[in-house]
Amino acid sequence: MSKDLKDKTPAELEQIVTDLGGKEYLAGYIFSFIHTKNAPAIADITPLSKAFREQLGAQGYFVSQLKTVEVLADPDGSRKYLFELGDGERIEAVLLRDGQRQTLCISTQVGCAMRCAFCATGRIKLRRSLTAGEIADEVNQVEADAGKVNNIVYMGMGEPLENYDAVLKSVRILNDKSGKNIGIRHITVSTCGIAPAISRLAGEDIKPRLAISLNAPDDALRARLMPINRTYPLSKLFAAIGLYQDKTGQRVTFEYVLIDGRNDSETHARALIRRLRGISCNVNLIEHNPYAGCHLAGSSRDRIAQFASLLKEAGIETVTRFKLGRRIKAACGQLQAGYGPQKTSK
C-alpha cells in the first residue's frame, strides 16, 4: 500500500491518523495543507504537532511532489509543463487559457498502449500508470505557477480508463471541498472507448463529464485509426454509452479529429449524423496536429467548416477546436514527453 499522503482521500487519511492514535480531525489539516497549500513535506504540515509529524515519518509516510523540468509558453497563451516523477519517468500537461478561465489537460499514464494513428503519445510504449497522487499533483504544480485552474480534462498522455481506480480516486481528491474543490461538472474524463469501464463509470456515485474519442463513423475506418476498435467495436461502445446515459442522464461529448482524405468527407459526416441519432451529445471537431513521423495530414479549414455545417444542420451541437499550443507541441495529439526515464540521484 502506498505511503504517499498525497495519494490519500480524506477518509483514508482519517484511518491513518486514528490508527496512529491521533484525533480524526487532524486528517483535515493533512489533506488541506497538501492540496491547498502545496505542502512539499510532512514537516510543512504545521498544525500537526512535531511529535505526530515525526511519528508519520517513522511509519514511512511521505508527501510526493512532481519536479517541474520545463515550462514552454505559446504566444496563444497556452503553456506546456514537463514533469519528472519520483522514479525519473516524465509526463506532460497543458494549460489552456480562455479569458479568465484556465483549463488543464492532465496525463494519467507514462506513454500509452492504445496506438491511435493520429496521436504522438501512442508511439511511446506504455511504461506505467500514474498514481492518484501524481495525477492530482499535476494540478498542484500548475496552480503554483499559473494560478487557479477552473477546468480539468483527462486528455493528456495515456488512456484514463485503463488506469481506472487511480483516475477516479484523483477525481475525488480534486473535487473534495476541503482541497481544490473543483466542481464535478468542470472535470471531464476522455476515453478512446474502453466499453466495460464506461459501463462501470455509469454506476459510480461521483460523475465527471464523459468524452469519447470517436474519429470515425464505422468500424472499418475506426479500426484503422484506432486499434482499440477491434476489441470494442462501435456496437459495444455505443451499448456502453447507452447504459451510461440511462443511468446518469448526462450528455456525452464526442471528439472527432479531422484527417485529410480519411474521415472528413460529406459521406463521413452524414454517416456520423446517423450514428449519433437519438443520443444526447455534442461534438468537438479537432484539427489534426502533426508530429514527427506522422503520415497523416489535417483537413483544410474549408473542409472542417463544411463538416461542421452538416452536423449543425442536423441539429448536433458542434464546436471546432483549432490548434492551440501547436508551436510548443502542446496541441491535441502532440504530447509525448519522449525524453525517456531519467536516472534519479542517490
Tell me if residue 105 is catalytic. no
* pLDDT score, position 289: 74
Q: Residues 19, 84: one domain?
A: no
What's the pLDDT score for residue 326? 47
Give the model's confidence band at 44: pLDDT under 50 very low, under 70 low, under 90 confident, else very high: very high
Residues 80, 44 share a domain: no
Residue 336 lies in a domain: no
Residue 29 lies in a domain: yes
Answer yes or no: do 290 and 237 share one domain: yes
Chain centroid, CA 22 distance in Å: 35
151-190 pLDDT, tens digit per residue, is 999 999 999 999 999 999 999 999 999 999 999 999 999 9
For 62, phi and psi rounded to 5 degrees? -155, 170
Supply the range of the domain harboring residue 134.
67-328
* Residue 334 included in any domain: no
**The pLDDT of residue 332:** 60
Query: 162 and 42 in one domain?
Result: no
Answer yes or no: is 19 within a domain.
yes
Kindly state whether residues 46 and 83 are assigned to the same domain: no
Give pLDDT, residue 182: 98
What confidence score (pLDDT) does residue 295 get? Answer: 82
Per the annotation, the verdict on 332 as an active-site residue is yes
pTM higher than 0.75 for the full model? yes
| Residue 331 banded pLDDT, cuts 50, 70, 90 | very low
Q: Is residue 333 part of a domain?
A: no
The string of DSSP codes covering 28-68 is HHHHHHHHTS---SGGG-TTS-HHHHHHHHHTT-B----EE
Span 196-219, mean pLDDT?
97
CATH label of the domain that carries residue 140: 3.20.20.70
In the sheet that holds 281-287, the strands lie side by side as 67-73, 79-84, 90-98, 101-105, 151-154, 187-191, 209-213, 252-258, 281-287, 317-321
pLDDT tens, position by position, 57-105: 999 999 999 999 999 998 888 999 999 999 999 999 999 998 889 999 9
Q: How high is the pLDDT of residue 154?
A: 97
The answer to whether residue 191 scores a pLDDT higher than 50 is: yes
pLDDT reading at 337 higher than 80: no
CATH of the domain at 13: 1.10.150.530
More confident position, 13 or 335? 13
Q: What is the mean pLDDT of residues 201-220?
A: 97
> Would 104 be classed as within a structural domain?
yes
Q: Looking at the structure, do residues 238 and 140 belong to the same domain, yes or no?
A: yes
In a shared domain, residues 140 and 106: yes
- Number of domains present in the structure of the chain: 2
Average pLDDT over residues 286-296: 80
Q: Which residues contact 70 (CB under 8 A, 6 or more apart)?
A: 81, 82
166 and 260 belong to one structural domain: yes
Sign, Cα dihedral of 236, 239, 243, 244: positive
| pLDDT at residue 288 in the model | 86
> What's the pLDDT band for 325 if we cut at 50, 70, 90?
very low
CB 195 within 8 A of CB 210: no
Beta carbons of 156 and 189 less than 8 angstroms apart: no
The set of residues, in sequence order, having a beta carbon less than 8 Å from that of 89 and lying 6+ positions away, is 110, 127, 128, 341, 342
Q: Tell me which of 84, 89, 92, 255 is the catalytic residue.
A: 92
Specify whether 186 is located in the same domain as 209: yes
| Domain annotation covers residue 337 | no
In a domain, 342, yes or no: no
* Residues 98 and 49 reside in one and the same domain: no
pLDDT confidence of 329, banded at 50, 70, 90? very low
Evaluate if residue 107 carries a pLDDT over 80: yes
Res. 290: pLDDT tops 80: no
pLDDT in tens, 127-145: 999 999 999 999 999 999 9
Mean pLDDT lowest among 42-46, 83-87, 242-246, 333-337: 333-337
Residues 81 and 208 placed together within one structural domain of the fold: yes
| The pLDDT value given to residue 346 | 36
The grid coordinates listed for 194 are: 474502453
Say if residue 120 is in the same domain as residue 181. yes
